[in-house]
């Protein structure tokens, strides 16, 4: 698997699912960012649950395994690093996640924002446009020695 040469907005080495790969390859060829507003509708098929000042709240189109809920907040403008985030966007994100977790009766889980890129590998995001996850793992689906983990990076030549 080689890193994208002509599309700096996506990282093919971070793609997790086979059904996701085809779409990501198309995006890679197009050379644009799938999370930018002008392209979002084309690739993201889940409804937008809320549009805030800073974020679109939706659900992940490429669910992880063994989860009950997987919310995705996509920053409305193209930024890639947490240092570019307006503190007010942080406040809105927590408000959105909080309200939606109440609505869904989410018992527990975690929130994750990966950011940035490196020639030495990837920080786990297939799309560099800043986005945030709220995940409720399905504890009953996990094996006795299994823990639900979120990846924050892997080296360039990582193999499963």
Binding to Zn ion (CB under 5 A) within 68-97 occurs at: 78
**d(Cα 146, Cα 77) in Å, to the nearest integer?**
37
Beta carbon of residue 79, minimum distance to Zn ion (angstroms, whole number): 8
- Residue closer to Zn ion (CB basis): 66 or 78: 78
- Cβ of residue 107: shortest distance to Zn ion, in angstroms? 33
Q: H-helix or E-strand containing 21?
A: helix 18-30
Give min distance, CB of 14 to Zn ion, in A: 15
Whichever of 44 and 69 has its CB closer to Zn ion, that residue is: 44
- As measured in angstroms, the least distance from the Cβ of 159 to Zn ion is 29
Stretch that binds Zn ion, among 23-31, 40-48, 118-126, 128-136 (CB under 5 A): 128-136
| Cα maximum dimension of the chain | 44
Size of the site for Zn ion (CB under 5 A): 5
Q: Which is nearer to Zn ion, 81 or 104 (CB)?
A: 81
**By C-beta, is 36 or 112 nearer to Zn ion?**
36
Site for Zn ion in 27-66 (CB under 5 A): 33, 35-36
Do the Cβ atoms of 127 and 7 come closer than 8 Å? no
Q: What is d(CA 75, CA 142) in angstroms, rounded to the nearest whole number?
A: 31
Using alpha carbons, select from 117, 114, 116, 103 the residue that is nearest to residue 150.
Answer: 114
CB of 36 to Zn ion, least distance (A): 3
CA 127 to centroid of chain Cα atoms: 7
Burial 22-32 (b: 16+ CB within 10 A, else e): ebbeebbebeb
Chain residues binding Zn ion by CB under 5 A are 33, 35-36, 78, 129
């Amino acid at each position: 698997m080689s890193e994208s040469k002509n599309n700096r907005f996506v990282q093919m080495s971070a793609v997790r699912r086979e059904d996701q790969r085809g779409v990501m390859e198309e995006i890679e060829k197009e050379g644009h960012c799938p999370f930018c507003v002008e392209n979002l509708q084309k690739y993201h098929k889940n409804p937008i649950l809320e549009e805030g000042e800073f974020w679109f709240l939706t659900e992940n189109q490429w669910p992880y395994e063994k989860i009950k809920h997987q919310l995705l907040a996509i920053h409305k403008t193209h930024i890639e690093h947490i240092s570019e985030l307006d503190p007010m966007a942080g406040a809105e994100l927590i408000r959105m996640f909080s309200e939606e977790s109440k609505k869904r009766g989410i018992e527990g889980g975690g929130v994750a924002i990966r950011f940035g890129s490196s020639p030495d590998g990837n920080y786990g995001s297939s799309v560099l446009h800043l986005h945030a996850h709220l995940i409720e793992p399905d504890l009953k689906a996990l094996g006795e020695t299994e823990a639900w983990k979120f990846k924050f990076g892997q080296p360039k030549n990582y193999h499963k």
